[in-house]
Amino acid sequence: MSLRQIRYLIAIARAGSLSEAARHLHVSQPALTLQLRQLETRLGCALFVRHARGVTLTDAGTAFLAEAQPAIAGLDRAEAAVAALRDALPRAIALGLTPTAGGALMPSLLDPPPSGPALLLREGLTHELLAALLAGDLDAACCYADTPRDATALYCEEFILVGPPSLVSARAPLPVAALAGLPLVLGHANHPTRRFIDAAAAAAGIALAPVLEDEPAAVKRAMLIGRDLCAIVPPGLYHADLAAGRLCARRLDPPLRRTAWLITRPGAAAALTRHLLARLRPLVDAHIAAGRLGWQAP
């Protein structure tokens, strides 16, 4: 005896007709008849009397239905209770963002939403945010990742060479192999972005030897402006300095592109992703349309 057979029995009793019940259940009438026959065989008696106008319950069918309906209703309530817990949103959502995404999105995300949970925002590097997700300290993060699970692509961005005008000019794209001769500030060797850059250099047949290894964006900016060094970063990280002419940018050949993802913690409800995408998508799409940060549709 299966739940499907019992649900079919209830549908037939309500419809008073096998053909009408089959239409309501979106199954073929032979398939419905087979399930009913198997249930009657299991119980050892007929549950319906067939007649020209349809079917009516036998005494056995009436007795079985009287007990089965409350049981099925209880199961439906149990499923609904689990679904409500599964889809419930917390009162506040802890969201992490990389420095580029944080600088672009945080000001708008700080506005209190008209409804729904508040956002608790945290800025960090990709490896820090991913670790916080696994530890349960964050509900979701907007960051880079190679092969993320529970993730939705938000935008793509191209990493470029950024430095003072004395070192970098907006000419034709610079071959990646030419980076070997520049004074670079790169992140530490174990950081995902550094590994991404090193992999691109290795593909071009070079190994990068940075003058300085440091990751915080503010420190890196000070090194670029004050000490005439270069960095490979997304353009949005130093958008204001590029616009003011304090720094210059140059694209690389081949381009170095990464995807920024919305990644949720393991086991997070689907409602969490839907809610965050509803908050983030309009902001991301506006930046893509404006073109100031170099973001592209994923």
Residues 120-139: tens digit of each pLDDT: 999 998 889 999 999 999 99
Measured CA to CA, the distance from residue 147 to residue 225 in angstroms comes to 35
CA 184 to chain centre: 33
Mean pLDDT, range 87-92, rounded to an integer: 73
The pLDDT of residue 148: 76
State the pLDDT confidence band at 145, using cuts at 50, 70 and 90: confident
* Residue predicted with more confidence, 218 or 96: 96
Domains of the chain plus CATH, in order, are 3-87 (1.10.10.10), 89-298 (3.40.190.290)
The pairs formed by 171-175 with CB atoms below 8 angstroms and a separation of 24 or more are 171/250, 172/253, 173/250, 173/251, 173/252, 173/253, 173/255, 174/250, 174/251, 174/252, 174/253, 175/204, 175/252, 175/253
Mean pLDDT, range 27-51, rounded to an integer: 89
* Residue predicted with more confidence, 66 or 170: 66
pLDDT higher than 90, residue 251: yes
pTM equals 0.65
State the pLDDT confidence band at 294, using cuts at 50, 70 and 90: confident
Measured CA to CA, the distance from residue 283 to residue 288 in angstroms comes to 9
pLDDT higher than 90, residue 223: no
Residue 133's closest CA among 118, 149, 146, 157? Answer: 149
The pLDDT of residue 250: 94
Residue 125's closest CA among 266, 251, 248, 219? Answer: 219
The pLDDT of residue 105: 94
* Residue predicted with more confidence, 147 or 259: 259
Give the three-state DSSP class for 198: helix
Max avg pLDDT among 89-93, 187-191, 198-202: 198-202
The pLDDT of residue 82: 58
C-beta separation of 136 from 215 below 8 A: no
pLDDT higher than 90, residue 73: no
CA 51 to chain centre: 55
Q: Alpha helix (H) ranges present in the chain?
A: 3-15, 18-25, 29-43, 59-87, 99-109, 126-135, 192-203, 217-227, 239-244, 270-290
Strands 184-186, 212-213: pairing kind: parallel
pLDDT higher than 70, residue 88: no
Residue 283's closest CA among 266, 267, 262? Answer: 262
The pLDDT of residue 212: 86
The pLDDT of residue 81: 62
Measured CA to CA, the distance from residue 99 to residue 122 in angstroms comes to 10
Mean pLDDT, range 230-237, rounded to an integer: 90
DSSP string of 128-175, one letter each residue: HHHHHHHHTS-SEEEEE-SS-SSEEEEEEEEEEEEE-TTT--S-SPEE
Length of the chain: 298
Strands 151-163, 256-264: pairing kind: antiparallel
Contacting residues for 153 by C-beta, under 8 A, at least 6 apart? 259, 260, 261, 298
Round to the nearest angstrom and report the end-to-end CA distance of the chain. 49
